[in-house]
A and B are shown apart, each in its own frame.
Chain A
């Protein structure tokens, strides 16, 4: 069953009576429910053939938008990547480049 998202209960249509007292949130790790990747004005592009899987990019991402599975990085999490470009700067193999826009 799909997890109920916080915005299913409280959202931009909610009247003031339904806002929780002091905006308290009775749930953890809710940031994944928000599509903050839409803030992005520049987008990192991963060229997997150039990538040596050194994994230097993953820990420098301020938003954990470079998922690692079984010791290997996978495609960017574009729902949350804000396009800061730190991963592209740190990559020693030129496997990440920044493109304009989303």
Chain B
């Protein structure tokens, strides 16, 4: 029987950690993820779990210790946000290339500067090329569910890659919502015990990890690492199917909301999808206009073909980025979705919006404007600016 609770996103992640009882958690506090190690430390102090908590002096050390613990054979996790993850940069690549099944609870927060503690995706989007699997959540329920699915994905023999479980800082991390928790015994059965095949503390096998690889080996190594990410696709779906059996909650690479007959679609990541759904419900019930949403759950590996297929019938698409990549063109999601459309030889009208940077609010009314713009663009085939902003103050002197 599921347990009805009301928890913040950070509490939900900490609760999942308690249910999993990992071996090692090195962590360093940073807003808005601080509560996660704080709650876990409480569980340990109260004797509820026997996770080894390592107090480290920085996030660089937090990820280094997590890598060391994982290489030694422990189930290892950490949590961070924003600049904290930026300080882990080098280690993120090491964790992935050493093929260590680490899970990182990332509470998305804008990167400096200017320094800002609120939600956007600049931290995880900046880390999109590090080789980590990235799973995003709209709600507290989703971040809890994603966290429970993370170890079975990471530890699958076909994958052996670290997983970043992302949620939007403050919006879900500190917002309290109703949530359904699985029972401890169910979660433990689902996640299973950790029995690594190769690990440094195995006295009966000699092993070295992270050797130097000259150019004669580097490229083949990277190709093999890519294969793990390719394999992750099927494993993510298998784990989701198993999770659905346990909880009844269905997950895939992305959620399609009102897409069956949609003519105008938004593609978005994270908590703002909820606001977009409210706009869709309102538009459909008041005007009958066919508006829909694709909410990306898995950004790495990127579900290129599946997204193109889901958008195959729409007239116009708004791709919504909650981070800049300063290409002076698209944001990261805009670039990749557009590439997916091109690859599938599809050419709906596309506009890329920047929204919510540094925690800027986005409202139902903003989404209604987006859908109105899509309708106009689909009719006129004139996109005045492919790269637009939502909620940006500007001088009203444009012609």
Which A residues fall within an 8 A CB radius of B?
A: 12, 14-17, 19, 21-28, 30
A28 and B97 within 8 A (CB):
no
Q: How far is the CA of A22 from the CA of B207 in the complex (A)?
A: 12
Bound CA span A75–B48, Å? 62
Closest to B213 in A: A23
- Which of A12, A15, A22, A26 is close to B98, meaning CB atoms less than 8 Å apart? A22
Q: Which residues of B contact A (CB under 8 A)?
A: 97-100, 160, 198, 205-211, 213, 216-217, 219-221, 223-225
Query: Which residue of B198, B216, B219, B220 contacts A24 across the interface (Cβ within 8 Å)?
Result: B198
Chain B neighbourhood of A14, CB < 8 A: 220
Least Cβ–Cβ distance between B168 and chain A, in angstroms: 32
- In the complex, what's the smallest C-beta–C-beta distance from A5 to chain B, in angstroms? 14
Contact A25 B99 (CB under 8 A): no
Say yes or no: A25 contacts B224, CB within 8 Å. Answer: no
Residue pair B207, A25 in contact (C-beta under 8 Å): yes
| Interface hub of B98, B213, B224 (most chain A Cβ within 10 A) | B224
- Is the pair B206, A26 in contact by a Cβ cutoff of 8 Å? yes
Q: Is there an interface contact between A16 and B206, defined as CB atoms closer than 8 Å?
A: no
Q: How far is the CB of B149 from chain A (nearest CB, A)?
A: 22
B286 nearest CB across to chain A (Å):
55
Which has the most chain B C-beta neighbours within 10 Å: A12, A19, A21, A22? A22
A21 / chain B contacts, CB cutoff of 8 Å: 99, 160, 224
Pull 24 A–B residue pairs with CB atoms less than 8 Å apart, ordered by A.
Answer: A12-B216, A12-B217, A15-B220, A16-B220, A16-B223, A17-B224, A19-B217, A19-B220, A19-B224, A21-B224, A22-B97, A22-B98, A22-B221, A23-B211, A23-B213, A23-B217, A23-B221, A24-B98, A24-B99, A24-B208, A25-B208, A26-B198, A26-B207, A28-B208
Give chain A residues whose Cβ lies under 8 Å from the Cβ of B213. Answer: 23
Question: Told that A15-B220, A19-B221, A21-B99 touch, could you supply 13 new A-B pairs with CB distance under 8 A?
Answer: A14-B220, A16-B224, A21-B160, A22-B160, A22-B225, A23-B213, A24-B207, A24-B208, A24-B209, A25-B209, A25-B211, A26-B206, A27-B208
CA distance A26 to B204 in the complex (A): 11
In the complex, A25 Cα to B98 Cα: how many Å? 11
Closest CB in chain A relative to B90 CB, distance in Å? 16
In the assembled complex, which residues on chain B have CB atoms less than 8 Å from the CB atom of A23?
A: 210-211, 213, 217, 221
A14 CA to B208 CA, complexed, in Å:
19
What is the bound-complex CA distance between A26 and B199, given in angstroms?
10
The 4 A-B pairs with the shortest beta carbon distances in the complex, nearest first, are A22-B99, A16-B220, A16-B223, A28-B206
Provide the bound-state CA to CA distance between A30 and B211, in Å: 11
Q: How far is B208's CA from A49's CA once the two chains are assembled, in angstroms?
A: 42
Chain B interface SS verdict (over half): loop
Task: State the Cβ distance, A64 to closest chain B Cβ, in Å.
Answer: 18
- The residue of chain A having its C-beta at the shortest distance from the C-beta of B207 within the complex is A26
Residue of B nearest to A28 (CB): B206
* B219 neighbours in A (Cβ, 8 Å): 16
Whole-angstrom distance between the Cβ of A7 and the nearest chain B Cβ? 11
Residues on B with beta carbons closer than 8 Å to the beta carbon of A27: 206, 208
Shortest distance in angstroms between A10's beta carbon and chain B's nearest beta carbon? Answer: 8
Which of A14, A24, A30 lies at the interface centre, i.e. has the most chain B CB atoms within 10 A of its CB? A24
B225: chain A residues at CB < 8 Å are: 22
In the complex the two chains form, what is the Cα distance from A55 to B399 in whole Å? 86
B99, chain A: closest CB distance, angstroms:
4
CB distance from A13 to the nearest CB of B (A): 9
CB of A21, distance to nearest CB on chain B (Å)? 5
Q: Please, how many angstroms separate the alpha-carbon atoms of A23 and B198 in the complex? A: 12
B184 to chain A, nearest CB (A): 32
B135 to chain A, nearest CB (A): 22
Q: How far is the CB of A69 from chain B (nearest CB, A)?
A: 26
Complex interface: chain A residues within 8 A of B220 (CB) = 14-16, 19
Within the complex, the shortest CB–CB distance from A29 to chain B, in Å, comes to 9
Residues of B within 8 A of A25 (CB): 207-209, 211
Tell me the complex Cα distance, A24–B217, Å. 12
A12 to B, closest residue via Cβ = B216
**How distant is the Cα of A73 from the Cα of B98 in the complex, in angstroms?**
40
How far does the alpha carbon of A97 sit from the alpha carbon of B154 in the complex, in Å? Answer: 55
Query: Smallest distance from the beta carbon of B45 to chain A beta carbons, Å?
Result: 35
Task: State in angstroms the CA–CA spacing of A14 and B224 once bound together.
Answer: 12
B100 CB to closest chain A CB (Å) equals 8
Closest to A24 in B: B209
Contacts of B160 in A (CB 8 A): 21-22
A residues near B99, Cβ cutoff 8 Å: 21-22, 24
Docked Cα-Cα span, A23 to B98, in Å, equals 7
